[in-house]
Amino acid sequence: MSHSDRPPTEPSRPDVPPRQTAAYLRALFAEVGFNVNPRHGQNFLIDLNLLDLLDRTAAVGADDVVLEVGTGTGALTERLAAVASRVVTCEIDPRLAQLARERLVEFDNVTLVEGDVLAGKHRFAPEVLQAIAAARAAAPAGRFLLAANLPYCVATPVISNLLALPEPFTAATVTVQREMAERMTAAAGDSSYNALSVWVGAQCRGEIVRGLPPTSFWPRPGVDSAIVRLDLEPERRGAIEDLPRFHRFVRDVFCHRRKVLRGVLLGIAGGRRTAAAREAVEALYTSLGLPPAVRAEDLSPDAFVRMEREFHRMLAPHGEGSG
């Protein structure tokens, strides 16, 4: 099907009643006997202007492959599918997956994976990875993008795991809890700066595009949300020597974020009593010119990348690498 042949989506069909209002969803769910499951973060984006903003911010092109996590009834999926080369969308709830399949029946460029997007905290479901690989093979000229109203329960592992892939997204446009949006875009010294800020910030430029009040969703969540855009910066990502090792290091360091960094690094290196650990940490402080009382939360993501690389190098001769 060429792009011009694809079925038009809601915004260009003013004659069709919008299919993502609270009234529409309530009636649809009553008709099929579906009860919203709060455990799965089923808060549907019902503000059509915001759904359009999410779609516009994702700026999907005709060659692109898009991953959506949390298909719901397919409201965002059909917008993405009208433009993208291929869309891979994943939905855990079989009833919603069925409703989405019916809504998306005219799109032959959508692969709907029914099931949990994750096979573990740090792992995507193999079916999702296979569907992405197949879509990317079918559209090799395009970028790989993430565009989603993410289920809050898995938003952090979805973003973190995508950034751990050998070929991650070029850009991600997502709605997440406001708190998580702030963490992903925080700078060193901000109160929300944590391991996620460093992991995301070392690889991407991030921006909060718009805050979303609970009234943007049905049912209303108990927290504020935001649309965030992340753009991968391949050169900065390339400065990370070993991605899994760096990820572990950042998580280990932030387990003790309030402690002075020196003590945390000594712990990772093998303990205060180990001469090799003391030497490595001293050499690291000298080589990077770190102030004695520096804390993890004072260091920018790029400083973390330099520090982890040096730290590993200084430990390596003693065979006590952190990774």
3-class SS of residue 281 = helix
User: How many Å apart are CA 140 and CA 253, to the nearest integer?
Assistant: 38
Q: Which of 128, 110, 111 is nearest to 119 (CA)?
A: 128
Q: Which stretch binds ligand SAM (CB under 6 A): 43-51, 160-168, 266-274, 311-319?
A: 43-51
Residue type, 309: R
Residue whose pair of structure tokens reads 């093979």 in the numeric block: 137
Instruction: Write down the least CB distance from residue 244 to ligand SAM, Å.
Output: 22
42 lies in the binding site for ligand SAM (CB under 6 A) = yes
Instruction: Write down the least CB distance from residue 45 to ligand SAM, Å.
Output: 4
| The binder of ligand SAM chosen from 11, 18, 41, 321 (CB under 6 A) | 41
| The binder of ligand SAM chosen from 29, 45, 225, 308 (CB under 6 A) | 45
44 lies in the binding site for ligand SAM (CB under 6 A) = yes
Residue whose pair of structure tokens reads 């000594």 in the numeric block: 266
Number of residues written out for the chain:
323
Contact between residue 135 and residue 86 where contact means Cβ atoms under 8 Å apart: yes
Mask of contacts with ligand SAM, 70-109, x by CB under 6 A?
xxx--xx-------------xxxx--x-------------
CA 43, 46, 49, 51 torsion-angle sign: positive
Tell which positions 133-152 bind ligand SAM, by CB under 6 A: 149, 151
Instruction: Write down the least CB distance from residue 20 to ligand SAM, Å.
Output: 7
Number of neighbouring beta carbons within 10 Å of residue 109: 21
Total interface residues for ligand SAM by CB under 6 A: 24
Residues of the shown chain interacting with ligand SAM in the complex, contacts defined by CB under 6 A: 40-45, 69-72, 75-76, 90-93, 96, 116-118, 149, 151, 153-154
